[in-house]
């Protein structure tokens, strides 16, 4: 009978997740949204663009889980198909923040002197403006569209990445292994690529996961204001905005897309906190 019992490692893993049902639920939400983005046909066969006028403004039912909108389009289908566009913009914005911020932080921390002062003054200016306001200013200059929204949100949030990367570079560059590499005659560029950059990226990558929920919210906010994809393309923020005029008669048009955004933000924040906690314990 004892041979049938799971190993201690398996029992510990099961116990870890059983004690954290919120983490398990968050993971399920993220997996579901990712599947919606990759293969929406798994969850709905409804057309997210074409509507059926005879079925306009119908409430949630077995036929239409999230109801229908003012043109008879299935809201659940639009939320599912909108996952790809919304997540693509979110991932792009986080990548912009990560790459640009890490590059600035690496430059400032490795060069020092007037280069460090100049880069950090630029970072201070970016950080002095609320990110949503800076995103609005940037997307107004760049123009409408999901890609421009993603770039604007990414640039508006790169200051935090730059500061963290600079701090990590300053910490790592004083390490014994860096001094040993320099003493062995390795060029400074080689030291940066082989030693400083790999050992500085860990906390920055964790910050990227922590920033994912904020990016979802900011991308949806700009889409809500009309800066995202042009209608009738489904995008979570624009779906919420599209139902504002029907709150009294068709509450589901705004409620379900809004709850989807909230669920994704809360799930990513919960997973990010767990990852950050594991990193600190490690």
- Check residue 5 and give its pLDDT: 47
Residue 54 domain flag: no
Determine, yes or no, domain membership for 89. yes
| Helix-, strand-, coil-residue percentages of the chain, each rounded to 5 | 75, 0, 25
The Cβ-side half-sphere exposure at 135, using a 13 Å CA radius, reads 30
* 121 assigned to some structural domain: yes
| Beta bridge mates, 68 | 74
Quick one: pLDDT at residue 14?
A: 59
Distances (CA, A) of 144 to 14, 152, 155, 158, 230: 47, 11, 16, 21, 8
Q: Residue 149: what pLDDT?
A: 93
- What's the pLDDT at 282? 54
Q: How many domains does the chain have?
A: 1
CATH number at residue 180: 1.10.3720.10
Q: What's the confidence (pLDDT) of residue 79? A: 95
The C-alpha angle with vertex 93 and arms to 90 and 97, in degrees rounded to 5, equals 140
The predicted structure's pLDDT at residue 279: 58
Q: Quick one: pLDDT at residue 226? A: 87
CA distance 208 to 93: 10
Distance (Å, whole) CA 259 – CA 279:
30
Quote the CA–CA distance of 227 and 238 in Å, as a whole number: 9
Domain assignment present for residue 158? The answer is yes
Nearest to 274 by CA among 20, 11, 13, 6: 20
Within a domain: 123: yes
Q: Rounded CA gap, 222 and 253, in Å?
A: 18
| pTM flag (> 0.75) | yes
Are the beta carbons of 144 and 227 closer than 8 angstroms? Answer: yes
Give buried/exposed letters for 219-243 (b at 16+ CB in 10 A, else e): bbbbbbeebbbeeeebbbbbbbbbb
Is 55 inside any structural domain? no
Block mean pLDDT (10 aa), the chain, length 282: 53 62 87 93 90 91 92 94 92 94 90 88 90 90 89 93 91 78 75 81 86 90 88 89 89 94 91 70 54
Range of the domain at 235: 2-42+67-281
Q: Is residue 146 part of a domain?
A: yes
């Amino acid at each position: 009978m004892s041979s049938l019992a799971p190993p201690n490692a398996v029992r510990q893993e099961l116990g870890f997740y059983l004690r954290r049902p919120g983490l398990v639920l968050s993971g399920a939400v993220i997996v579901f949204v990712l599947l919606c983005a990759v293969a929406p046909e798994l969850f709905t066969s409804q057309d997210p663009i074409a509507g059926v006028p005879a079925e306009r403004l119908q409430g949630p039912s077995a036929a239409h889980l999230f109801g229908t909108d003012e043109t008879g389009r299935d809201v659940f289908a639009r939320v599912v198909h909108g996952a790809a566009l919304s997540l693509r913009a979110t991932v792009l914005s986080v990548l912009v923040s990560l790459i640009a911020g890490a590059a600035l932080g690496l430059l400032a921390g490795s060069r020092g002197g007037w280069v460090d002062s100049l880069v950090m003054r630029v970072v201070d200016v970016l950080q002095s403006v609320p990110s949503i306001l800076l995103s609005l200013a940037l997307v107004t200059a760049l123009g409408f569209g999901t890609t421009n929204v993603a770039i604007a949100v990414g640039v508006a949030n790169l200051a935090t990445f730059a500061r963290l990367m600079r701090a990590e570079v300053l910490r790592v560059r004083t390490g014994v292994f860096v001094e040993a590499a320099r003493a062995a005659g390795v060029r400074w560029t080689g030291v940066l690529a082989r030693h400083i950059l790999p050992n500085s990226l860990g906390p920055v990558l964790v910050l990227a996961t922590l920033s994912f929920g904020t990016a979802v919210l900011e991308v949806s906010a700009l889409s809500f204001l009309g800066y995202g994809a042009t209608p009738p393309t489904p995008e979570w923020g624009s779906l919420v905005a599209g139902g504002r005029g029907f709150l009294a008669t068709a509450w589901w048009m705004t409620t379900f897309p809004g709850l989807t955004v909230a669920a994704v933000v809360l799930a990513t924040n919960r997973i990010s906190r767990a990852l950050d906690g594991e990193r600190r314990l490690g």
